[in-house]
Amino acid sequence: MPFPGALEMLGHCRFRTPVENSTQWRAFETFKRMASADELGQLQHYSGVFIKGRMADYVVKASGGTVVLRGTEVIATGCLVLTMPDDGTYLEVYPGLDHFIANYLVLKSQERYYWKTAILSVRDVGQGRVEEVRRELELERERAGSVPRQTWAEWLSFTLGD
Amino acid sequence: MARHFIRRLSSEGDSPVAEWDTTTVTRDRLEEIEIEYNRLMAAGATPADITDKRNELKPGAKFDPNADTLMIPRMTGG
């Protein structure tokens, strides 16, 4: 099973199969219906799944966070969470694997929505690289074309602290 | 036999909403399921078609009795 280099680069983090009938286990069973054998293997070996996108590549972690990659370089970390359950309770009540599934589905089929909605942080970029990453992201915005300019501008402003 | 389901991500973990067999389900039962589907949509959920690993979010899609659907609650940057 050929794992992408990005997962090797991010290191091993052993996935613990959830206890049967726990909240995490139910989400894991659902993901097993959705995932390819390769993706399931990635989750179990690396606690994350690699997704090749149009605007960037991603590793969605079992904890629910996402690493955004350009080639082998981490350009940002992203966070998109479930909220507003209908019982009125808030964020933390969802099991981590539920966040993982939501991020996985968004990046698989609604990548632009992810870029418009997730909080993206460039804190993992090395010192002195912020300006360079800013230029790369502006270029990406132009390539994306159909992404509303204002949304990208807002995102860049928020992320890079203009 | 063609079994399909609706599940949702919830604070109790992934939970079943409904399951049916398209060859035997009654019209009344399908209407009940559609009402529940619409209730979840009204609460801000987004349906994802996960039939045969399609794994496609379908914002605003109507209830499809021939699909396996996972309802994703409202999402926000965190």
The residue range of the domain holding B20 is 3-58+66-72
CB-CB: which of A25, A89, A109 is closest to B56?
A109
| Number of cross-chain residue pairs from A and B with Cβ atoms under 8 Å apart | 103
pLDDT of residue A76: 83
- Interchain CB contact of B14 with A (< 8 Å): yes
Q: How far is CA A116 from CA A119, A120, A131, in A?
A: 9, 10, 21
Chain B residues with CB inside 8 Å of A82's CB?
9, 72-75
Taking an 8 Å cut-off on Cβ atoms, the answer to whether B75 and A35 are in contact is no
Query: How much is the pTM?
Result: 0.79
- Is ipTM > 0.85 here? yes
- Per the CB < 8 A criterion, the answer to whether A57 and A6 are in contact is yes
- Interchain CB contact of A82 with B (< 8 Å): yes
Choose between A79 and B26: higher pLDDT: B26
Q: How far is A120 from chain B (nearest CA, A)?
A: 8
Query: How far apart are alpha carbons A15 and A22 in whole angstroms?
Result: 15
- Interchain CB contact of B38 with A (< 8 Å): no
For each of chain A's 162 residues, which pLDDT tens digit applies? 344 566 666 665 667 777 777 778 888 999 999 999 999 999 988 889 999 998 889 999 988 789 988 877 788 888 888 876 555 555 446 778 888 999 999 999 998 888 888 887 775 555 556 566 666 666 665 665 444 444 444 444 444 443
pLDDT of residue A10: 64
Chain A residues with CB inside 8 Å of B55's CB?
34, 104-105, 108-109
Question: Is residue B18, in this structure, part of any structural domain at all?
Answer: yes
Burial of residue B10 (number of CB atoms within 10 Å: 0-12, 13-18, 19+)? buried
pLDDT at B30 over 50: yes
**Range 2-31 of A in CB contact (< 8 A) with B:** 22-27, 29-30
Residue A85 CB coordination number (10 Å)? 21
Question: Is residue B10, in this structure, part of any structural domain at all?
Answer: yes
Taking an 8 Å cut-off on Cβ atoms, the answer to whether A91 and B78 are in contact is yes
Give me chain B's average pLDDT, please.
92
- Per the CB < 8 A criterion, the answer to whether A113 and A106 are in contact is yes
Question: Is residue B14, in this structure, part of any structural domain at all?
Answer: yes
Question: Is residue B24, in this structure, part of any structural domain at all?
Answer: yes
Q: How far is A12 from chain B (nearest CA, A)?
A: 25
pLDDT at B70 over 90: yes
pLDDT of residue B44: 87
- Per the CB < 8 A criterion, the answer to whether B3 and B20 are in contact is yes
Closest by Cα among B44, B71, B24 to A102: B71
pLDDT of residue A73: 78
Q: How far is A35 from chain B (nearest CA, A)?
A: 7
Query: How far apart are alpha carbons A44 and A14 in whole angstroms?
Result: 7
Three-state DSSP state, A133: helix
Question: Is residue B77, in this structure, part of any structural domain at all?
Answer: no
Q: Which residue has the tokens 């981490």?
A: A74
At B74, the pLDDT band (50, 70, 90 cuts) reads confident
Beta bridge partners of B21: B3
pLDDT of residue A155: 47
Chain A residues with CB inside 8 Å of B12's CB?
23
Task: Tell me how many domains chain B contains.
Answer: 1
DSSP-H helix ranges across A11-95? 23-34, 37-46
Contacts for A142 with CB less than 8 Å, ≥ 6 apart: none
Three-state DSSP state, A102: helix
